[in-house]
Amino acid sequence: MTSGDVRPLLEEANARPPAVSDPTIDGMKPPLVLEPGSAKAAGATLSFCHREGLAVVPCGGGTRLHVGNLPARLDCYLSSAHLTGVASYQPGDLTVSVEAGTPLRELQSALAEGRQFIPWDPPRADSATVGGVLAAGEPGFRRAPGARPRDLLLGFEALLADGTPVAAGGRVVKNVSGYELTKLLVGSRGTLAFLTRVHLRVRPIPETIVTLAASFDDLEPLASSLSSLRSGVATPEVVAVVDPAVGTSLSLKGWVLLVRFEGIDEEASGDCRKVEQLPRANDVSRLEGSDADRAWNVLRDFPSPDSGSESECILLGQVLPSDTMRLVGRWQVHGSLVAYPEAGRLYSKTDDPEAYWSLLESAQELGGNAILESGPQALKSQLDVFGETPGGFELMRKIKEKMDPKKILSPGRFVGRL
């Protein structure tokens, strides 16, 4: 692995061999897990890895590490497990500063004391870390502008590939001092830098959260109800389309439209009436308390791989919101699915390895794209799991080259195998 003396690294970095509980990437684990106890030690660790040319995969809770191309190299995980804690929280400022390795649920319970929260519900939320959610850019079912990681990350402290500490943005809710590097880091999947501390904008916990489930015999009446809902003035926080297979696990029958309102009492109850009057639903019911929580948790965790299934593929189609139901219509035969029409997203789980190509083709016909979030190694080795080559890819390549010239941060895993 390296020609140099690794002892300083092992001490500074709390190095250990991988454990059973450590996440795998395409069935692989690196020979070393580095768990530095401070941002400073993490800097020294990364600087060592950089000198030695070790391929480092930054790792939070390890809940989304499966998303990405097959690693070009994999020498160690750089874990944020010991970079935890809320550094400062001032509810009146609507901001919080938190170490990147802090579990999201820990942050949420700290914020709950100020009647605030971060509107993220990523898959396997109990294990996810704040830094991990930001790096994956995966907030879960709420994706309205204002709620996404890119909207709420105000500033960060991070380590560059060579271990240099840098900061960008700030701690206040409004700030245009310097370039918007926060946007660059969100969703960069550990390919540009290692987050150590982040400053977030928080939200007040809404006065009311209401969940309504409308069930339909078929997709067609659901789609027509959905479009009447979309053309009205009701502003649901989340709208999800759930197929009968997933619906069963929510104890609901047929195709289900799950609608979630958050806000003030009067507004939510007014919006609920609009859903209750949807003309073509068989039944509209209000899910209360734990039933509602259970339903959203099923949707939240839907895009997580089931451990034990070797052939399982998790697919994500991305189209314009108005094309979502068309994509659902073309897709439904292949597997179970949950779609979010407001975001133009369709998640599907299937054991059919050909399904990805079929989804990609359907999405492309609608001007969209499809991502293979998880799948057998044999399939992943044949393709770029992110589907399309995005506009400005050459700029992305240059940014990666500039920030990580030795290609040590999650090499090969990003879009275009960056």
Q: What is the largest CA-CA distance in the chain?
A: 72
Question: Applying CB under 8 A, does 354 fall inside the site for other proteins?
Answer: no
Question: Applying CB under 8 A, does 17 fall inside the site for other proteins?
Answer: no
Show Cβ contacts of residue 106 under 8 Å, excluding neighbours closer than 6 positions: 84, 86
Partners of 166 in beta bridges = 158
Contacting residue, 24, 166, 251, 354, with other proteins by CB under 8 A:
166
Q: What is the CA radius of gyration of the chain?
A: 22
Show Cβ contacts of residue 200 under 8 Å, excluding neighbours closer than 6 positions: 95, 96, 97, 98, 118, 130, 152, 153, 154
CA angle 113, 117, 121 (to 5 degrees): 135
Question: Applying CB under 8 A, does 395 fall inside the site for other proteins?
Answer: yes
Contacting residue, 11, 266, 352, 354, with other proteins by CB under 8 A:
266
Minimum CB distance to other proteins, residue 264 (Å): 4
Which parts of 75-134 interact with other proteins (CB under 8 A)? 90-95, 115
Contacting residue, 224, 388, 407, 412, with other proteins by CB under 8 A:
388
Contact 126, 105 (CB under 8 A): yes
Which among 23-31, 44-52, 104-112, 265-273 is the span making contact with other proteins, rule CB under 8 A? 265-273
Contacting residue, 29, 51, 73, 150, with other proteins by CB under 8 A:
150
Which parts of 204-223 interact with other proteins (CB under 8 A)? 204-207
Contact 412, 56 (CB under 8 A): no
Which parts of 269-308 interact with other proteins (CB under 8 A)? 270-271
Minimum CB distance to other proteins, residue 320 (Å): 5
Token pair of 336 as six digits: 């179970």
Neighbour tally for 301: CB within 10 Å: 17
Contacting residue, 230, 253, 407, 417, with other proteins by CB under 8 A:
230
Q: Which is nearer to other proteins, 132 or 344 (CB)?
A: 344
Question: Applying CB under 8 A, does 3 fall inside the site for other proteins?
Answer: no
Contacting residue, 18, 23, 53, 165, with other proteins by CB under 8 A:
165
Q: Which is nearer to other proteins, 26 or 138 (CB)?
A: 138
Question: Applying CB under 8 A, does 174 fall inside the site for other proteins?
Answer: yes
Minimum CB distance to other proteins, residue 46 (Å): 14
In angstroms, rounded to a whole number, what is the distance separating the alpha carbons of residues 32 and 63?
Answer: 18
Q: At what angle do helices 324-331 and 355-365 cross, to 10 degrees?
A: 150
Token pair of 179 as six digits: 């370039």
Minimum CB distance to other proteins, residue 114 (Å): 9
Q: Per-residue contact track with other proteins, 308 to 327, x per CB under 8 A?
A: ----------xxxxxx----
The amino acid that residue 216 corresponds to is F
In angstroms, rounded to a whole number, what is the distance separating the alpha carbons of residues 366 and 363?
Answer: 5
